[in-house]
Structure 1
Amino acid sequence: MTTYDLYIGGRDVPPGSGQYFDTVEPFSGNAWARIARGTAQDADTAVRAAHAAFEHKDWRDITATRRGAILRRFADLIVAHADRLGQIEQRDNGKLIAEVSGQVRGVAEWFHYYAGLADKDGGRVIPINKPGVFNYIRHEPLGVVVAITPWNSPLALTAWKLAPALAAGNTVVVKPSEFTSASLIELARLGTEAGLPAGVLNVVTGFGAEIGDALVRHPLTRKVAFTGGEAGGRAVNIAAAEGFKSVTLELGGKSPNIILADADLDQAIKGAVSGIFGASGQTCMAGSRLLVHDSCHDAVVAGLVEVLKSARIGDPSDFETQIGPIATRPQWEKILGYVEIAKAEGAVLEYGGYAPEGPQYGCGQFVVPAIFTGVSNDMRIAQEEVFGPVLSVIRFSDDEEALRIANDTRFGLAAAVWTRSLERAMHFVDRLQAGTVWVNNYRSTSFTTTFGGYKDSGLGREGGPDAMREFQQDKSVWITGSPNRANPFVLG
């Protein structure tokens, strides 16, 4: 099997413990690589390497234009190695190869975008209220950034953090999920090949309880960017607050996908399928609550079932496969557990919700997409994030009821509305409590705009030009041309 060490200071470094653990293919159930089991000592080594690189002239003193050039080279190398990176990630988390291939090339676009922004941030000049004084604001990097990323889209969700952090001049330590570490070690190696000085990009692998807390609490860490579950995000936020560290938290969702009576039902049904069953439902923005007007409820449910009957479930390395396995065994068990919870609460299972059997399903880590009707919004299936291919269909009778149901959740990551009326669409856009609202589409994202949540779905934003500001701090500079004009005893 392939063995992956830690990546610290521009080179492969064995873990201090000498221990490794297996990473397993979700489809076959076979171990295919050994991953270094990092310790708190390794976390300390990585953060200190990143801090030394931040202070070193090879990174500190280069121009922003030069940083952009390195990131462009990084992006080009990602494209050149896209097929290999995609195969590694697909093997690690079981995602469809058709989806991963495009996603890896999308990672390169993130680096190209922030490469272009690297030398476009000029700070700002302040029209100060004091004569003979010049004041301007510098935007400066924070220092060492710790990026903690999940197993569902490791390369993409790391790029969302890594590209703006590097463009802003920071150094980074990435802690990937223990289930999907290999592709990020490969990515870090490409970063060094692109010209990132040693220590600017480091990857430490292992288990969160053993190294994650040490990275967050390290006195040299200045920023934590986390994507994951609500409980993990809350723990990170509390730990970071003790050291006055800034955080970006991209957490869970229970996103409402709302079909109004005047919607184009064919398109809305396609959007609902894509919204919840894409990536086997293992995405934070999944449209897991489908709110449907009474007048078209039955037609929508029938259409959903018809689509799923023809869905191809199986080997994710086959480009024809449409629904792949669940990424981890614990998550597979959790999803099947929620199916039983929903039944016990009185929801009606219209389709799916079981683990298919047969040699075409490898080790059997699949869940046939589930559709529940008769769901009320106070059921656990409607309030708790399942993170799998489970759809809760909820009826409503008018627009105000739809909005009340949609906003009746502690999450606020995303939402969508399907309608032919621009007036109604804008009314929903105004009232929906979500960081992203789609109108007549679902799951659209881009490096050019922001993504993030309201309420318990997180803090801060990723994407777009403002994302660089998440990795910067302001310095106010006061310059007096003639020292004699400055009065040290006058304030304000």
Structure 2
Amino acid sequence: MLDLKMYINGEWRESSDKGKRNVINPANGEIFAQAAEGTIEDVKEAIQVSKAAFTSGIWSDLAPTERASYLFKIADKIDHYAEELARLETLDNGKPLREAGYDMADAAACFRYYAGLITKPDGLTYHVSDPIQALVVREPVGVCGLIVPWNYPLLLSVWKIAPALAAGNTIVYKPSEVTPLTPTKLFEIFEEVELPKGVANMVLGAGSTVGNEIAESHDVDLVSFTGGTKTGKHIMKAAAGNMKKLSLELGGKSPNIIFADADFETAVDYALFGIYAGSGQICAAGSRILVEEAIFDKFVSRFVERAKQINVGPGDDPSTEMGPVVSQDHMEKVLHYIELGKQEGARIVCGGNRITRNGLEKGYFIEPTVFVDVKPTMKIVQEEIFGPVVVIEKFKDEKEAITLANCTDYGLAGAVFTVDGAKALRVTKKIRAGITWINTFHNTYNEAPWGGYKQSGIGRALGTYGLDVFQEVKQININLQVEPIGWFSK
């Protein structure tokens, strides 16, 4: 039985009240670890430690090249432990090993990207009419509260931690209480590279306790949160007390638009990948497939044929293509949406059930599920299910495709499949979403911004935009003609 502790001021410790939480393998429902359950007192201490470390300048006063050297070492350590990290991620989250392996490589690359970026020139000078030299410089925000979900336990942590540390901030970090394994290993790496004490602090525990205290604290200067839109709204309200900076990457109900002239097999293949990668537990998942009516029946038939062939099983089985959902609670939520879809009058043409065969009965496995005969007003069309469930809708022309694509409160991602380049660009420009693809799906790059429109969030992760979040911009004016201004009479 693994025993997971919190990391505060360079020390591993239990929670102040010795509370514990069971950590469960979603592939078999078995408890394999216990994690410290943080209290409000633990969070407050971590925040004060982080604030003291920032004020001392032990990290923020280092030259960018010095901070970068730590980030490069962390990246090397992630590479060194990549296989172990992937196994831990699969054990904790349930995703297939091949998916977890890609996440580890991306995490190392993200640290290297920001290590390189922070050493590049970033200041500005302005030529003004007065004898003044005007400068703009970037400075760290201060104490950053980072709150991360369970679908990408390590990678999404790194998306926040790497730029926050690169910019010179100190952090109070809360991983999901459901998936604390790889975050714990990451902090072991921080200890190995001798990151200064107090710079990075991790508090395990529930969002309602740990996350809420981070959001409300007047000693936290920024909150960066990835998760559900409902929770994001709560964090916005909690953060208003000291007007702290916010970065929110929230939910999605992303459209995948497939025109009749698309390369058919490519469109089907990416549509499967768009919804069933990560068991559908990806904020940008292509959970609404919009198909031009001329190929609708053909597409549905082929898509269902392929979906039924997906090998569902435990993530540590090399043959597994789709793993379980992350927890029993989440499985029940997804199954509830499936029942709701039936009640709303939608028709299931594939899946729709929990998998209890072939030794999977103890795990949280759900069949790849497909709904047709749906209407835009249905909850299964409008609300984020966050599981292996897709709705396939029919459209007549570009105008209707765009209308359907934009008919939800979300605006995270979207894709267009067509061989007509002009049409692809026309439609993509009309999609109200922050991330779009043409003839592909799910590509993510450290160099490009990630985030959404509407209720899919505020701000951007990754790229130079992801560094901007963790920096303040300061104007400095230097008088080059030092003499009295003479504004008032003598």
TM-score, with normalisation over the residues of structure 1?
0.97
Match of 1:380 in 2: 379
Check whether the contact 2:163–2:466 (CA below 8 A) recurs between aligned residues. yes
Shift of 1:152: 0.7
Residue by residue over 1:25-46, the C-alpha shift from the partner in whole angstroms, topping out at 9 and shown as x without a partner, is 0011111111001011000111
Q: How far apart are residue 220 of structure 1 and its match?
A: 1.2
How many residues in Structure 1 have an aligned counterpart in Structure 2? 489
Aligned to 1:355: 354
1:129-183 deviations in Å (ceiling 9; x for gaps)? 212x111011000001001000111111111111111111111111111101121
Q: Are residue 30 (structure 1) and residue 25 (structure 2) matched?
A: no
1:49 aligns with 2:41: no
1:482 Cα deviation from its structure 2 partner: 3.8
Q: Which residue of structure 2 aligns with residue 274 of structure 1?
A: 273
1:217-228 equivalent positions in 2, closer than 5 A: 217-228=216-227
- Stretch moving more, 50-59 or 341-350: 50-59
User: Counterpart of 2:116?
Assistant: 116
Task: Report the counterpart of residue 67 of structure 2 in structure 1.
Answer: 67
- State the SS of the aligned residue for 1:483: coil
Within a 5 Å distance, the mapping from 1:1-400 to structure 2 comes to 1-131=1-131, 133-400=132-399
Using the TM superposition, give the Cα deviation of residue 359 of structure 1 relative to its aligned residue in structure 2, in angstroms. 4.5
State the secondary structure of the residue aligned to 1:154: coil
Write the deviation string for residues 31-81 of structure 1: whole angstroms up to 9, x where unpaired: 111100101100011111111111224313210111111100111011101
Q: CA deviation at 1:241?
A: 1.8
- Listed one character per residue, the Cα deviations across residues 102-146 of structure 1 (whole Å, up to 9, x for unaligned) are 111110000000000111143211112212x11101100000100
Q: 1:46 to 1:488 in 2, by over 3 A?
A: farther
Structure 1 stretch displaced more, 186-195 or 106-115? 186-195
C-alpha distance in 2, partners of 1:59/1:247?
22
Structure 2 CA distance for aligned equivalents of residues 487 and 335 of structure 1 = 72
Distance 1:79 1:487, change over 3 A: farther
TM-superposed CA distance for 1:309, in Å, is 2.1
Q: Distance in 2 between matches of 1:390 and 1:122?
A: 44
> Deviation string for 1:283-318 (max 9, x for gaps)?
000000000011000111111111122211111111
1:375-454 matches, cutoff 5 A: 375-454=374-453
Aligned counterparts of 1:364 and 1:194: Cα–Cα separation in 2: 37
Distance 1:358 1:409 in 2: 36
How far has the Cα of 1:358 moved from its partner? Answer: 2.5
Q: Is the 8 A contact 1:308 1:369 kept in 2?
A: yes
Q: 1:364 to 1:91 in 2, by over 3 A?
A: closer
Q: How far does residue 360 in structure 1 lie from its aligned partner after superposition?
A: 2.6
CA contact (8 A) 2:218 2:241 kept: no
How far has the Cα of 1:488 moved from its partner?
A: 6.5
8 A contact 2:308–2:368 mirrored in 1:
no
The residue identity in structure 2 corresponding to 1:397 is K
Taking a change above 3 Å as real, the CA distance of residues 368 and 310 of structure 1, as seen in their structure-2 partners, is same
1:28 & 1:207 partners in 2: Cα distance?
A: 23
Q: Distance in 2 between matches of 1:407 and 1:352?
A: 27
CA distance in 2, matches of 1:140, 1:486: 30
Alpha-carbon contact 2:255-2:414 (below 8 Å) kept: yes
Q: CA deviation at 1:485?
A: 5.5
Contact 1:27 1:362 in 2 (8 A): no
Structure 1 residue 357: deviation in Å?
Answer: 1.4
Percent of pairs identical after alignment? 38
Is the contact between residue 35 and residue 182 of structure 1 (CA under 8 Å) also seen in structure 2? no
Amino acid at match of 2:259: L
Name the CA shift for 1:418/1:489 in 2 (closer, same or farther; >3 Å): farther
Where 1:360 maps in the other structure, the secondary structure is coil
Distance between the aligned counterparts of 2:331 and 2:209, measured in 1?
A: 24
Distance 2:21 2:95 in 1: 21
Q: Distance in 1 between matches of 2:488 and 2:448?
A: 46
Supply the AA of the counterpart residue of 2:373: G
Q: Structure 2: how far apart are the matches of 1:75 and 1:326?
A: 29
Partner of 1:59, secondary structure, is coil
Does the Cα contact within 8 Å between 2:355 and 2:361 map onto a contact in 1?
no
Q: Report whether the alignment pairs 1:467 with 2:438.
A: no
Equivalents in 1 of 2:488, 2:71: separation in Å?
A: 47
| Shift in alpha-carbon separation, 1:315–1:362, aligned structure 2, 3 A | farther
| Distance of 1:64 and 1:355 partners within structure 2 | 51
- TM norm structure 2: 0.98
Distance in 2 (alpha carbons) for counterparts of 1:102 and 1:329: 26
Aligned partner letter, 2:335: L
Shift, 1:395, TM fit: 0.5
The one-letter amino acid paired with 2:94 is G
Q: Is the 8 A contact 2:279 2:387 kept in 1?
A: yes
Which runs of 5 or more structure 1 residues have no equivalent in the other structure? none
Larger CA deviation: 269-278 vs 302-311: 302-311
**TM alignment of 1:472-483, pairs within 5 A:** 472-483=471-482
Contact 1:358/1:364, CA 8 A, preserved across alignment:
no
Shift of 1:487: 5.3
d(CA) in 1 for partners of 2:4, 2:121: 37
- Aligned-partner SS, 2:224: strand
Tell me the amino acid that sits aligned with residue 30 of structure 2: N
Q: What code does the residue aligned with 2:313 have? A: G
Any conservation in 2 of the 1:29–1:362 contact (CA below 8 Å)?
Answer: no
